[in-house]
Structure 1
């Protein structure tokens, strides 16, 4: 019997639409201001944390193998059939941004629109949908 903290997962998935809205707005209105750059950084960080928090909850709840890194979280939930490979690839690119955003923030190019920003809205919605389908299937 698994103990999956579904409430915690659903809280994190419920935060995704606001992050998606931020990505869509930034992509549509980008003019390279400092404020937009900082907003982009935060939206990317929230996307990373949302995906990895949900992945960690799934790994813990379904007793999947332990993750050794953020990218490993994505690989595990791909290997366990939570998400497809088509989604795992861009999510691996996303989680690779955590270190530059959190530890090397002084070198982040705030005035540039990151290429993932325009792509992440639909990918996060797909992530949410695939996690919800997995939960329905497995529980």
Structure 2
């Protein structure tokens, strides 16, 4: 029997609507200014944390193979058929931003709209729906 921490997964998935709203607002209101730039940066960072946290909980709970990187977390969960290829592609692009956002933040361009900002909200919402469906099916 698996122990999947559904409570912690759900707490993280519940953050997605606000992250998606922040990303949509940044994309729709983009003015190249610092405030929207910082909002975009934080929303992208939170999105990375949500998908990697949820992926890690799924990997641990369902005793999937160990991940060696953030990209690997997304690959493993995708290989286990939690979400489809189109969501996987967006999430891989997202997690590759972690190093620039968290470690190389001094070089991050806060005055440009990142291409992921506009397409990520839908992918995040689909990710949440697929994770919930996977849990329902597997548990």
What TM-score results when the alignment is normalised by the length of structure 2?
A: 0.99
Structure-1 residue corresponding to 2:105: 105
Q: CA deviation at 1:83?
A: 1.1
Residue 2 of structure 1 corresponds to which residue in structure 2? 2
**What's the CA shift for 1:121?**
0.7
Cα distance in 2 for partners of 1:72, 1:95 equals 10
1:39-75 deviation per Cα after TM superposition (whole angstroms, max 9, x unaligned): 1110000000000000000000000000000000000
**1:17 corresponds to which residue?**
17
1:7 CA displacement: 0.2
Gaps of 5+ in 2: none
2:90 is the counterpart of 1:76: no
Aligned to 2:88: 88
Q: Would you say 1:65 and 2:65 are equivalent positions? A: yes
Provide structure 1 residue ranges, at least 5 long, that are not aligned to the other structure.
Answer: none
Give the corresponding residue for 2:137. Answer: 137
Following TM superposition, the consecutive aligned residue runs of length 4 or more in structure 1 with deviations greater than 6 angstroms are: none
Tell me how many residue pairs correspond in the alignment: 139
Q: 1 CA distance for matches of 2:122 and 2:83?
A: 14
Any idea what SS the aligned residue of 1:7 has?
A: helix
Compute the RMSD of aligned alpha carbons: 0.5
Q: TM-score under structure 1 normalisation?
A: 0.99
Q: Which moved more, 1:108-117 or 1:78-87?
A: 78-87
